[in-house]
Amino acid sequence: MKHPGHNNGDVKPQIGNMSLTLKRIGHYLLKRKGKLLLTMVMVALSSLLALAGPFLTGKAIDDYIASGDERGLIGLLAGLALVYIGYSAVSFLQNYWMVEIAQKTVYELRDDLFRHFHKLPISFFDKRRHGELMSRVTNDIDNISSTLNSSIIQIASGLLTLAGSIAVMLYLSPLLTAVTLLIIPLMFYGMKWITSRTGPKFKEQQRHLGDLNGFIEEAISSRHIVKMFSREEEMIHEFMEKNERLREAGYMAQAYSGFIPKLMNVLNNTGFAVIALVGGILALNGQATVGTIVIFTEYARQFTRPLNDLANQYNTMLSAVAGAERVFDIMDTDEAVDRGEGKIPPLAGEVTFDNVSFSYDTDKKILSNVSFHASPGDMIALIGPTGSGKTTIMNLLARFYEPNEGRILFDGINSREISGNALRSQMGFVLQDTVLFEETVMENIRYGRLDATDEEVIEAARQANAHSFIERMPEGYQSMLRQDGSGISQGQRQLLAIARAILADPVLLILDEATSSIDTITELHIQEALGRLMKGRTSFVIAHRLNTIRRADQVIRLKNGCIEAIGSYEEVAAAQ
C-alpha cells in the first residue's frame, strides 16, 4: 500500500539520500503548484527590479549628474523610487504566499505522519520511545517548516539574481566580470569543505534531540517512581549526559556552519577590492566611465550576495533534510496488514484457541501450543507467574498481534478472516493502567460509544457504581480530567473504565488486573460493577484475587507459555 508522500516507484527511498528526500518534499509542495508558480513569478519580478536599481543609478551618474541635467535626473530618480516601491510590494507578496504554501505543506505532512502512526502495528511502538516519536512530529517537521518559509524564495531569488548579475556584468565589462568570477572556485571548495562536516553533525543533532525528548517524556511520566526511590540525582545526571551530547552535536554543527558567512565575507571583500582596483585603472585610462564602474561594483555586490544566501540556505537545508529523513523513515515503515471482513454480524461470544504458538521475535517462544475453548457467556480466568503469557493471550485475542502457528476462532471463524477493527468493535477492555483523556468525565465515558446520549452515559456510570463520586466532583460530569488521571483515585479511574466498557456494550470482555492495587471497599464496588458488565458476555480475566477467580467457569494456569492446568478453580487448585 502506498502512503501519501511516498515514492511512486518500485524502489523505496533510502534514508540518507538528500536528492530523494527533497523530491518527496517537492511532492507535497507541488500540490499547490498554482500558487507556487505565482510566487515564482513574483520572485522573478523582484529579482528583475533588484537588478534595475543599480543600472539606473549608474545611468544617473553618466547621463544626468555628469552633464548637469537636473530635469532628467529628477525623472530618473522618480523612476528609481517606483522601482524600489515595486520591489517592496512584490517581495511582500512572494513572502506572504510562500508562508501560506509552507504552512499548508507541513500541515499535510504532519497530518500524513500522524495518520500513519495509527496504521502501524503495536510492535512498532513497543520498540520505540514515545518522546522520540513525538520529536519527529514536532521538532523535525518544524525544521522543514522553517526552511520552506525562507529557503525556497531565497534560493530561487539568489539563482535568478546571480544569472542576471552575470549577464549585465558581461555586457558592461567582460574583463571585470572575469576578475569577479575568480572567487567562485574558492567559494565552491570552501563550501564543500564546510558542508561535508555540517551535514553529519545536523543529523547527529536531530538524533540526540529525539533521544533527549524521549528521556524527558519518560522522566515526567515516571516522576512518582523517581521520587519513591530517591533517584532524582541519577535522573539529573543522565539528563546532563544526554543534554551534553546534544550540546556538542549542536555546537559542532553551528560552529562549522558559522564559518560560511565569514568565509564568504573575506572572499567578497577581497574580490571587491580587486574589482575596485582594476575598475579604477580602467577609468583612469578612459576605458570605462565612472557610472559604469559604480554600476559594476553594485552588481558585483549583487553577484556575491546570492552566493552568500545560497551558502547559508544550503546549510539550513541540511538541517531540514535531516529532520525530513526522520519523518519519512516513519512513513516508510510498513503499515499493519488488517485483512479480513471489515463488517461482521454480532458475535455470540464463542472463542477457541487451537494450538496457538507465538513469539515477539524469533529467539524465544512466548506461547507454545495453547488450546482452550470458551462458550458464549463464559468467564475465563488466566493465572500464572509474570512472563507466563497471560497478557500475550489478551493481545492475540484483540488482534494486536497474529499467532505464528495455530488458529484463533471466534464463533468458528478464523480471526484472520475478520479485520482487527471489526473484531475490536465487539470487544470491551478494562485494563490495569486506565487510560484517561484530557477531557470531561462525560466525554471520557462516551469514548466507549461516541454516538451515545448524555442519558446513556449517565446510566452506564450508574451501572458502574461511578455516578455517586462523579456527582460529588466540582462540575459533575463536566469536570475536566487530566491525561494521567491525577486528581481522582485509582479505584475511581477503574470505575470510569468500567462505565466506558458498559457503554460500548461489547460481546467479548478483556479484563487485565482490573482490581489490582485497589482497597477492599473500593474493590467491592468494582466487583459489583464488573459483575453487571460480565453478565451474559464472554470474559477473559487476568487476576490474582481469589474472589475473582472462584467465579470463573474455567481457570487456565500458565507457565513458561504453556498451559499447566485447566478446569474449575477447585480442579486447578488441586493440580498444584
The better pLDDT of the pair 213, 351 is held by: 351
Q: Give the pLDDT confidence of 15-35 residue by residue, as tens digits.
A: 447 788 888 888 888 888 888
Confidence at 7, pLDDT banded by 50, 70, 90? very low
**pLDDT for residue 538:** 93
The yes-or-no verdict on residue 229 having pLDDT over 70 is: no
Please give the pLDDT value at position 507: 92
Residue 227 grid coordinates: 521520587
CA 52 to chain centre: 44
- pLDDT, mean of residues 440-463: 91
Nine cell digits for residue 324: 525530513
Give CA–CA dist 369/561, Å, rounded.
Answer: 9
CB 521 within 8 A of CB 438: no
Q: What percent of the chain has pLDDT over 90?
A: 15
Q: How confident is the model over 500-505, as a mean pLDDT? A: 90
Q: What is the pLDDT of residue 128?
A: 77
- pLDDT band with cut points at 50, 70 and 90 for residue 409: very high
Alpha-carbon gap, residue 51 to 84, rounded angstroms: 11
pLDDT of residue 323: 81
| Per-residue confidence (pLDDT) for residue 219, from 0 to 100 | 76
Share of the chain above pLDDT 70, in %: 83
* pLDDT tens per residue, range 292-345: 777 777 777 766 677 667 666 776 777 788 888 888 888 888 877 666 666 788
Q: Which residues of 103-115 are buried (b: 16+ CB within 10 A; e: fewer)?
A: ebbbeebbebbee
1 has pLDDT over 50: no
Closest CA to 397 of 385, 407, 408, 383: 408
Alpha-helical (H) ranges within 505-564 are 520-534, 546-549
- Separation of alpha carbons 44 and 466, rounded Å: 67
According to the model, what pLDDT value does residue 272 have?
72
Q: Which domains does the chain have, with CATH numbers?
A: 18-331 (1.20.1560.10), 351-574 (3.40.50.300)
CA distance 489 to 478: 18
71, pLDDT greater than 90: no
Residue 443: pLDDT above 70? yes
* pLDDT band at residue 186 under the 50/70/90 scheme: confident
What type of residue is 482? R
C-alpha cell at 196: 561535508
Flag whether pLDDT at 425 surpasses 50: yes
**Start-to-end Cα distance in the chain:** 50
pLDDT of residue 85 exceeding 60: yes
Position 104 pLDDT exceeds 80: yes
pLDDT at position 520, please? 63
DSSP strand pairing (562-567 vs 554-559): antiparallel
Mean pLDDT of the chain: 80
| Closest C-alpha to 460, from 420, 505, 491 | 505
Cell of 298: 553594485
pLDDT, tens digit, for every residue of 106-154?
Answer: 889 988 988 888 888 887 887 777 777 887 888 788 888 888 887 788 8
- The rounded distance, in Å, linking the Cα atoms of 265 and 498 is 68
Q: Residues 194-201: contacts with CB within 8 Å, 24+ apart?
A: 194/256, 194/257, 194/259, 194/260, 194/263, 194/315, 195/314, 195/315, 195/318, 197/252, 197/256, 198/253, 198/256, 198/257, 198/315, 198/318, 199/318, 199/322, 201/249, 201/252, 201/253, 201/256
Question: Is the whole-model pTM more than 0.75?
Answer: no
Report whether pLDDT(203) > 80: no
Predicted confidence (pLDDT) at residue 4 exceeds the cutoff of 60: no
Report pLDDT digits (tens) over 259-285: 666 766 777 777 777 777 777 787 777
Between 78-92, 225-239, 470-484, 489-503, the lowest mean confidence (pLDDT) is in 225-239
pLDDT at 13 over 50: no
Residue 170 confidence class, pLDDT cut points 50, 70, 90: confident
What cell does 474 get?
466540582
For range 439-455, the mean pLDDT: 91
The count of residues in the chain is 576
Residue 10 predicted with pLDDT over 50: no
Q: Classify residue 543 as left (phi > 0), alpha (psi -120 to 50) or beta.
A: beta
**pLDDT of the residue at 338:** 67
Q: In what order do the strands lie in the sheet with 508-512?
A: 427-431, 508-512, 538-542, 379-383, 554-559, 562-567
Supply the Cα-derived Rg of the chain in whole angstroms.
35
| Residue whose C-alpha cell reads 500475550 in the numeric block | 392
Residue 502 DSSP SS3: helix
- pLDDT of amino acid 329: 86
Which neighbouring-strand residues pair with 61? none
For residues 466 and 191, which has the higher predicted lDDT (pLDDT)?
A: 466
Give the torsion sign (CA, 137, 141, 145, 148): negative
